[in-house]
Amino acid sequence: MKGRVFVIGLGLIGGSLALCIKKEHNEATIVGYDINSEQARLAKMLGVIDIISETIHDGAINADLIIIAAPVKETETIIQLLSELPLNPQVIITDTGSTKSKIVANSISLKQKGFTFIGGHPMAGSHKSGVSAAKEILFENAFYLLTPEEYVEKSRVDDLIHWLNGTKAKFLTISPKNHDYLTGIVSHFPHIIAASIVRQTEKLAQEQTLIPRLAAGGFRDITRIASSSPEMWKDILLHNKEILIELLNEWQEEMFWVKDLLEKEDSSAIFDYFQQAKQFRDGLPVREKGAIPAFYDLYVDVPDYPGVISEITGYLAKETISITNIRILETREDINGVLVISFQTEEDRLRAERCIRSYSSYVTSIGS
């Protein structure tokens, strides 16, 4: 498919979308802009884009597709800027933001000029950021939510999906309001809860100095998303505040109910509380990508001697298996340590397990 694609924002998401489009539509020209000129130059050097645009104006004028891969607050400003430019009348403009209602409402300025805006949200991510982390497989099997307004013809939505076919994502079309409600439940709300658990733990740690040491391992795992960008999550929460306030009210009722069960020492109801949670959680899809990036961890018991970590990672490097994170759990004394290695995909985790077993005779156990 020939044409000119303009990507505004050359981070992980924008860069990965550019790579997917380049692979699927090799006759298209990919133009990129980033407020950080170094990111733009790196994107060009890595072959993520074909041309660097010095301004949004220059890159947007003749584009057939414009992708705004910027934080939600900046996206609103960019939409307003685009509405003031003499764009290609047939251009499709889309974004990648985690909230949709305000952004789609803001796009009325584009609609008034006759331009097509289709809200978009690729529900995939990584533990790494920046264009250097961009990859063609980032969105594979992930949900890609599209939120076109009623005025947008289905053929235009089909055109956008055709441009994005290289992502190999699963496209779903829903309303902006439904999008924000669903992502509020499965993404935005859990980030608030994780941050609140960490904040409460920090306060308690001022008097209980053992807490930081004991909070390694599993505690870090269940609160990982609290390490996400504060700036980004500030904007997301403000954009989706009505739904999140509703969810927080429901959460407070849930916690008051649990508190009541404890005060009454209702063992049967407490058991049912955890049992129902376990059944629902165990029934969730294991191999599908969701709103929060999945972590594929491998736990390896290794002897404690100098160079053991470089040995293990050397085996993985030899088999060209990429890791996203590595750490040691201080749960054993003297002889063994537990090495936790995180991977981008389940396939990489399984390959790593086979690799370590084949190379190492002293590893005592491996688990996930």
pTM, two decimals, is 0.79
Taking only the tens place, the pLDDT of each residue in 178-202 is: 999 999 999 999 999 999 999 999 9
Q: Is the pLDDT of residue 364 over 60?
A: no
pLDDT score of 335? 40
Taking only the tens place, the pLDDT of each residue in 251-286 is: 999 999 999 999 999 999 999 999 999 999 888 876
Q: Is the pLDDT of residue 173 over 80?
A: yes
pLDDT score of 215? 78
Are 95 and 68 in contact, with CB atoms under 8 Å apart? yes
* Pairing mode of beta strands 51-52, 143-148: unpaired
pLDDT score of 13? 95
Alpha carbons 154 and 66: distance in angstroms, whole number: 18
- At 28, is the pLDDT very low, low, confident or very high (cuts 50, 70, 90)? very high
Q: Which two three-digit tokens encode residue 313?
A: 């990672």
Q: Which two three-digit tokens encode residue 144?
A: 């890609």
Question: Using the 8-state DSSP alphabet, how is residue 185 labeled?
Answer: I
* Chain center to CA of 213: 28
Alpha carbons 39 and 157: distance in angstroms, whole number: 30
Alpha carbons 104 and 197: distance in angstroms, whole number: 33
Are 59 and 53 in contact, with CB atoms under 8 Å apart? yes
Residues 6+ apart with CB under 8 A from 272: none
Q: What is the average per-residue pLDDT within 76-100?
A: 96
pLDDT score of 294? 65
Are 24 and 169 in contact, with CB atoms under 8 Å apart? no
Alpha carbons 236 and 133: distance in angstroms, whole number: 23
pLDDT score of 141? 84
Structural domains of the chain, ranges and CATH numbers in brackets: 3-174 (3.40.50.720), 179-282 (1.10.3660.10), 296-367 (3.30.70.260)
